[in-house]
Amino acid sequence: MEISVVSTRPFTDQKPGTSGLRKQVSSFRRPHYLENFVQSIFDSQPMLRGSELVLGGDGRFFNREAVQIILRMACANEIRKVTVGRGGILSTPAASHLIRTRGAAGGIVLSASHNPGGPGGDFGIKFNVANGGPAPESVTGAIHAASLEVDHYRIARSPHIDIDHVGRRQAGEMEVEVVDPVHDYADLMESLFDFPAMRDLLHSGSFTMRFDAMHAVTGPYAEEILEQRLGAPAGTVMRKEPLADFGGCHPDPNLTHARELGQLMYGRGAPDFGAASDGDGDRNMILGAGFFVSPSDSLAVLAANAHLIPAYRGGLKGVARSMPTSQAIDAVADALGIPCYETPTGWKFFGNLLDDGRITLCGEESFGTSSDHVREKDGLWAVLFWLNLIAVRNQPVATIVREHWQRYGRHYYTRHDYEEIESGRADALMSRLRATFPELPGRRFGSLRVRTADDFSYRDPVDDSVSTGQGLRILFEDGSRIVFRLSGTGTMGATLRVYVERHETRTDQLDEDNQAALAALIEIAGSVADIRNLTGKDAPDVIT
């Protein structure tokens, strides 16, 4: 097969973030843009030559074209074999599972997660390493360095490769295996959970549920598992067909963007259980009838009840959460007598802990939860965990959570997102806030007194690597806290995320309105950071 060597020049904006490289579709469609980044992966990761690569994505606009380009480049860069999901589809956790079970040298995942799709939307690409997890900073740093020096890329002049039919085919010296994107993952879920108990619950006639796939990648997965293997009624999975523009919706599983499901779950005659997942299938939202479960509470409840689930009956080795995630999981870990690790945001930080056998469950407040079965967060896994838990405990979602609060106290918690702030203004806000930290300890805000203020840093207990600048924290003497971060998942300007938390143990104070319970801290956050003046926004764009 003829190989072309195409001259190119570096782009200066190809530094991967916590979830790879995300840009608007228009950026990726510029001549050489995608090719430069893919060549930078191959140049910086020489172990891929002669090895197997897993490839797939969430089906968003440009996914199919990108798959064809990457297959031709893989052939030209001496990749021995590429395993690709049929139609170019693979959920992020399914891709992680395939990398691990096939012993692949890595994988390329095409997704911008919960960001909008379509020609005017976003696209993304990230490299996952051999453990199935997102590339650590050492690898993303090497890819970025290569992207600043790339002056050519290699691509095969091959015809269109059939990715729509399961089977094996050749592209020059490289084998391409197209696999069912759902089957192996569904088998994995069946090995972890009590499918007979869940099947009985769904067949009982007294239990109903809805799963909103948001026209994203988990539609086929949820349909196979919930409706086929578990026998849930047809229609249990809403918006099940993956669409390149997600049906014109924002595939982010929260009450703002999964509005149809939210209205259903808070309406008259609501189903007993509701759930949703995002664009690439790694996030989740959990609802009971008239009841929202915060991601932080969800992680804590799952850890407290893990002994009821077949895969985790032997106990948990430890747990981990990202720093902005509420400390609800810390209370459970303390009661269980197991370690609880606090890491920076970004799933890759959990990878070392999982590989070293230090933790079993982990999660982030941004609707991501998972365990040691893969090295990515896993939305459908979390939904099945909850369904299994409901089947075993025979209790509604709200009862399970309220009983948890009675035992461990309630961590009132919220996140306020200020989106698409001009980057210079966002950086100025953080710099100004950081400059006030030396004078904050001891300062009183009403009844609250600041214990300390810092910029979170993390030393990895496995490889001793250090990550700095991971979020600004104001910690109060009563355990309350405010955290400020700039998110790296958007493609337009910057997103300021403000996290507010306080712990309540008085049993008669556990059922307040969440925002009302945090009102004093929310006001302090706005004042100390001067959010209104420095962002030009009177209110957050999204509250979760």
**All structural domains of the chain with their residue ranges:** 3-181, 185-408, 410-543
7 is an active site residue: no
Other residues' Cβ atoms within 10 Å of the Cβ of residue 408: 21
Q: How far is CA 277 from CA 215, 370, 408, in A?
A: 10, 13, 28
Cross-sheet strand order for the sheet of 209-212: 237-238, 209-212, 273-277, 284-288, 291-293
- Beta bridge partners of residue 81, listed in sequence order: 52, 175
Other residues' Cβ atoms within 10 Å of the Cβ of residue 320: 24
Other residues' Cβ atoms within 10 Å of the Cβ of residue 80: 15
What are the two backbone dihedrals, phi and then psi, of residue 145, each rounded to the nearest 5 degrees? Answer: -60, -40
Residue-by-residue DSSP string for 239-260:
S-S--TTGGGS----STTTSHH
Three-state secondary structure call for residue 306 = helix
Q: What radius of gyration, in Å, describes the C-alpha atoms of the chain?
A: 23
Q: Which amino acid is at 7?
A: S
Cα of first residue to Cα of last residue in the chain, in angstroms, is 52
HEC string of 62-130 equals: CHHHHHHHHHHHHHHCCECEEEEEEEEECCHHHHHHHHHHHCCCEEEEECCCCCCCCCCCEEEEEEECC
What are the two backbone dihedrals, phi and then psi, of residue 429, each rounded to the nearest 5 degrees? Answer: -60, -45
Distance CA 483, CA 127 (A): 29
Q: Which residues contact 151 (CB under 8 A, 6 or more apart)?
A: 7, 8, 9, 10
User: Which CATH code, of 3.20.20.70, 2.40.50.100, 3.90.580.10, 3.40.120.10, is assigned to 3-181?
Assistant: 3.40.120.10
pLDDT for res 492: 66
Distance CA 45, CA 407 (A): 49
Residue-by-residue DSSP string for 163-220:
-SS-EEEEETTEEEEEE-TTHHHHHHHHHHS-HHHHHHHHHSSS--EEEE-TTSTHHH
Catalytic member of 111, 113, 296, 322: 113
pLDDT for res 18: 77
Residue 22's Cβ-count burial label (10 Å; 0-12, 13-18, 19+) is: buried
Distance CA 485, CA 470 (A): 7
CATH homologous superfamily, domain 410-543: Alpha-D-phosphohexomutase, C-terminal domain (3.30.310.50)
pLDDT per residue of the chain (544 residues) written in tens, 0 to 9: 899 999 999 999 999 987 899 999 999 999 999 999 999 999 999 999 999 999 999 999 999 999 999 999 999 999 999 999 999 999 999 999 999 999 999 999 999 998 999 999 999 999 999 999 999 989 999 999 999 999 999 999 988 999 999 999 999 999 999 999 999 999 999 999 999 999 999 999 999 999 999 999 999 999 999 999 999 999 999 999 999 999 998 999 988 889 999 999 999 999 999 999 999 999 999 999 999 999 999 999 999 999 999 999 999 999 999 999 999 999 999 999 999 999 999 898 999 999 999 999 999 998 999 999 999 999 999 999 999 999 999 999 999 999 999 999 999 999 999 999 999 999 999 999 999 999 999 999 999 999 999 999 999 999 999 999 999 999 999 999 999 999 865 556 899 999 999 999 999 999 999 999 999 999 999 999 999 999 999 999 888 8
Strand-strand pairing, 21-24 and 122-128: antiparallel
Distance CA 380, CA 253 (A): 12
- Beta bridge partners of residue 286, listed in sequence order: 275, 293
Distance CA 219, CA 237 (A): 7
Q: Which residues contact 314 (CB under 8 A, 6 or more apart)?
A: none
Distance CA 245, CA 25 (A): 11
CA within 13 Å, CB half, 270: 21
Structure tokens that stand for 475 in this block: 């910690």
pLDDT for res 233: 97
Q: How far is CA 21 from CA 144, 257, 450, in A?
A: 10, 23, 37
| Assigned fold of 185-408 | Alpha-D-Glucose-1,6-Bisphosphate; Chain A, domain 3 (3.40.120)
Distance CA 159, CA 454 (A): 56
Q: Decide: 332 and 339 in contact? Cβ < 8 Å.
A: no
- Residue 371: name the closest of 456, 284, 302 by CA: 302
Domain 3-181 and domain 410-543 have a common topology: no
Q: Is 129 left (phi over 0), alpha (psi -120 to 50) or beta?
A: beta
Residue-by-residue DSSP string for 222-244:
HIIIIIIIS-PPTTSEES-S--T
- Residue 141: name the closest of 39, 45, 55 by CA: 45
Q: How far is CA 367 from CA 370, 377, 503, in A?
A: 10, 9, 20
